[in-house]
Amino acid sequence: MTSAKNIQLVECPRDAMQGWKHFIPTEQKVEYINSLLQVGFHTIDFGSFVSPKAIPQMADTADVLKKLHYADSGSALLSIVANLRGAEEAVSYNEISYLGFPFSLSPTFQLRNTNSTMEESVKRVEEIQNLCVNHNKKLVVYLSMGFGNPYGDAYTQEVLLLWADEMVQRGITILSLADTVGLATPAQISFALNTLIPKYPDTTIGVHLHSTPFNWKEKLEAAVNAGCTRIDGALKGIGGCPMAQDDLVGNMNMEWIIGYLQEQGLVKNINEAALEKCLDMSSRIFV
């Protein structure tokens, strides 16, 4: 069982917002993320420096960032990037501690999501990692389609280890397995984590799980029992990857994750009043 002091909770308003049907005003994003910064999360995945044509909801990420009160929060800020240009912009901001890059274990989805082959994406990781080192940032590589894919691309233990090893060899110290379309079963989550965690003891292995109200607990238990030390979610389970498929399975509800981990004694220092305020705000934003 994972020890309490090692659990890192990552709240993902960016993932909740990016596929939303109408543009969320910048000031509303700012107010919401500033409130999330008071809850006690390890990291806030707040925005992305990607093409506004691909993800128009994130076109105002730089404007949002300028108005965040991150200095009086214990939470770090993470931004998603998909290429070197986006990474160069992201590392220019002192406020950002982490960059996240989606590297899919599915060649089909990698091309679809970042318009690059697996080999081209490995080179991107290397270039972005060098930028991060030179600007005192950390790169989180999300192994998307991390538990299988709907495209028929090969997914085996060998595939998982091959690409994880490519990342670790390039200095990546945080990997997060993403259940991009909600396909993963508890057994698959256990399999993937039990494959990677013993192999890379000096690497933080996390999960970014999508789920329904009927399977979230079994998935979360599988991750925790396998020794996962980093868990992503989004309040009210809103969001999902708009590049994946039409019928999205939402993010795992962060309030459920918090409740479960508190019952197990695995997370502390959550500001309950701030959390309730954020839940109330989300009900008004995501309508």
At residue 135, φ and ψ (nearest 5 deg) are: -120, 15
* Nearest alpha-carbon partner for 122 in 138, 136, 105: 105
This prediction's pTM = 0.94
Residue 16 lies in a domain: yes
- Rg, Å, the chain Cα set: 17
- Looking at residue 255, its pLDDT comes to 97
- Looking at residue 192, its pLDDT comes to 97
For the chain, give the number of residues.
287
Residue 3 lies in a domain: no
As given in the structure block, the two tokens for residue 77 are: 């800020």
**201 DSSP 8-state letter:** T
**225 DSSP 8-state letter:** H
**Residues of the chain whose pLDDT is less than 50?**
1-5, 242-247
Residue-range definition of the domain harbouring residue 119: 8-285
Residue 207 lies in a domain: yes
Cα–Cα distance between 278 and 286 in angstroms, integer? 12
Cα–Cα distance between 87 and 124 in angstroms, integer? 10
Q: Is the dihedral of CA 206, 18, 78, 135 positive or negative?
A: positive
**CATH classification at residue 194:** 3.20.20.70
Residue 249 lies in a domain: yes
How many Cβ atoms are within 10 Å of 198's Cβ, its own excluded?
A: 10
Residue 21 lies in a domain: yes
Angle at 255 between CA 253 and CA 98, to 5 degrees: 75
Cα–Cα distance between 284 and 281 in angstroms, integer? 5
Q: Per the structure, how many domains does the chain have?
A: 1
Residue 147 lies in a domain: yes
Residue 2 lies in a domain: no
